Amino acid sequence: MSTFRPVELTLAAVSAETPDAVTLAFNDPAGELAGYLPGQFLTLNVAVGGKQHRRSYSLCSAPGLDAHPTVCVKRVPGGLVSNELVDNWKAGQTMQLFTPIGNFVCEPKPGARRHIVLVGAGSGITPLWSIAKSILTHEPGSQVSLIYGNRREDCIIFSEPIRQWQAQHPARFRVVHALTQPPAGWQGATGRIHGAMVVDLLRHLEPLQDVEETRYYLCGPQAMADDVEQALLGTGVVRRNIFRESFFSDSQVNHQETVEVGGAQAAAGGEGPFSVTIKHDGDTYEVEVPLGETILQAALDQDIDLPYSCQAGLCTACRAKCLSGAVEMDETEGLVESEIREGYVLLCVGHPKSAGIVVEVG
């Protein structure tokens, strides 16, 4: 059975977190979302203007710790779904959503002694907060450091729970807030989070006890994650210990990348239109992809039920392995280098660039 399946859940509570963010807590009596990992996200299917729209929202609740699976949605100016959720959704309403997925996870290992460094901005706190609570609870030998950027003090999501968890774990949970519009007398960091700032702050956040390894989880705008990652690499951190998730692609066509498998030659100009063979859940489909369209969109237009969430090349719900042929991606943020080398592609931003393409979803 596919791990990405629709369920219908009722909202147990909707509460204002900041002036422009709400938390949505779901009733899940049958445990449909049970087994999710800290850092994973849900895909909500929300009707706006008579049409269903899917959007990804990270779980900010910690599995086994918080009573309800919970997401926190921050308003994006002009955004279709975030404004609908912040303004109109109430406890008691039922929503269709898709079961948790995502690779931006940090699974607690009870005997481990690690330093888990979390760097986030704005709504990027959501998966980091699930990870922080899980590690502090289930990894008693580990330390957690959170560097969290916002515009103003009243924009800090989970400000009060963060303060409470700090009070409970003063030696194991250290937090630095950074504000771009700090109030007079502000004691935290000032300005947007950037690489040099993080490297500098980490000098003061050295673990108080011996640790076996340090892992870095970055969640915020792509530009912030790029800058912080480069700065960490510059200090000798190895890439495999840096994990990142972006909620929004800085540019529609950021990193065009062609994944070519089996020596297939892109046709003259590589334009097509080409037909693509898609294997999914034991079925095989032939999909004619019109020029300029993505493979996912062409499949959905033919009523082929494929997994997808963000449709922006960020979340990997639509990941597929390219078994032959050449696929060009508009965005590769969701994939790590090794996945690209192994031939994985994201169908929501993937365009066929040769004949004979076969992709297997999963």
Contact 98, 134 (CB under 8 A): no
Give least dist CB 349 to ligand FAD, A.
Answer: 12
Helix (H) or strand (E) holding 286: strand 283-289
72 sits near ligand FAD (criterion: CB under 6 A): yes
CB 106 to ligand FAD: min, Å: 15
Helices (H) and strands (E) in the chain, counts: 7, 19
**Piece of 44-52, 210-218, 274-282, 315-323 that binds ligand FES (CB under 6 A):** 315-323
CA nearest to 34, candidates 57, 12, 2, 66: 66
If one asks whether residue 310 binds ligand FES (CB under 6 A), the answer comes out as yes
Contact criterion met (CB below 8 Å) for 118 and 146:
yes
Asked if residue 327 binds ligand FAD (CB under 6 A), the reply is no
Question: Is 118 a residue that touches ligand FAD (CB under 6 A)?
Answer: no
The yes or no reply on residue 346 touching ligand FES (CB under 6 A) is yes
- How many Cβ atoms sit within 10 Å of the Cβ of residue 8? 10
- Which one of the spans 63-71, 122-130, 249-257, 303-311 is the region binding ligand FES (CB under 6 A)? 303-311
Interacting residues of 3 by C-beta distance below 8 A, sequence separation 6+: 99, 101
- CA atoms of 214 and 116, how far apart (whole Å): 6
Contacting residue, 119, 314, 322, 348, with ligand FAD by CB under 6 A: 314
Our CB check for ligand FES shows the closer of 148 and 344 to be 344
126 near ligand FAD (CB under 6 A): yes
- The DSSP 8-state label assigned to residue 89 in this structure reads -
* Interface with ligand FES, residue 352, by CB under 6 A: no
- Binding window for ligand FES (CB under 6 A); candidates: 15-23, 26-34, 269-277, 306-314: 306-314
Exactly one of 73, 101, 326, 358 binds ligand FAD (CB under 6 A); that residue is: 73
Residue nearest to ligand FAD (CB): 79
- Residue 81: which of ligand FES, ligand FAD, none does it interact with, CB under 5 to 8 A by kind? ligand FAD
Q: Which of 144, 295, 310, 320 binds ligand FAD (CB under 6 A)?
A: 310
Largest CA distance in the chain: 64
Q: Which pair of structure tokens corresponds to residue 17?
A: 């977190």
7: Cα separation from own chain's centroid? 20
Contacts with ligand FAD by CB under 6 A: the residue count is 24
In 309-331, which positions are buried (b, 16+ CB within 10 angstroms) versus exposed (e)? Answer: bbbbbbbbbbbbbbebbbbbbbb
Q: How far is the CB of 255 from ligand FES (least distance, A)?
A: 13
